[in-house]
Amino acid sequence: QVQLVESGGGVVQPGRSLRLSCAASGFTFDTYGMHWVRQAPGKGLEWVTFISYDRSKKYYADSVKGRFTVSRDNSNNTLYLQMDILRVEDTAIYYCAKDFDQWLDYGMDAWGQGTTVAVSS
């Protein structure tokens, strides 16, 4: 079955960097687009970024544009999120999620359990 396992979260000071990973299994990773979605404590879901199956398309929420970079290693079935110049408001649980369909906008049908990022001085 599809499995997504995030890692790399932790406590970091404002202005510092962190790199999250998402290990994927149970599906053909290199044929699906992938997302990062975050959830601040007690708040709703916020979409962060998307990367297409072949890395040709990358999109970012305005709140992270210029600070976060999404990437993927299809040979190792792993998704990454490089987070630079972190702010207190980036504190959240970060989920990776898989596109339901390879070509159509059918939402995100598989999610990891999330990794927690806390930005604090």
Distance CA(50)–CA(80), nearest Å, equals 11
Question: Is residue 54 involved in binding another protein (CB under 8 A)?
Answer: no
Question: Is residue 45 involved in binding another protein (CB under 8 A)?
Answer: yes
CA dihedral 24, 28, 33, 39 (to 10 degrees): -30
Which of 44/121 has CB closer to another protein? 44
Sole window of 24-32, 70-78, 84-92, 103-111 interacting with another protein (rule: CB under 8 A): 103-111
Q: Name the residue among 2, 27, 1 with its Cα closest to residue 110.
A: 2
Question: Is residue 27 involved in binding another protein (CB under 8 A)?
Answer: no
Distance CA(87)–CA(103), nearest Å, equals 34
Per-residue x/- track, 63-92, another protein (CB under 8 A): ------------------------------
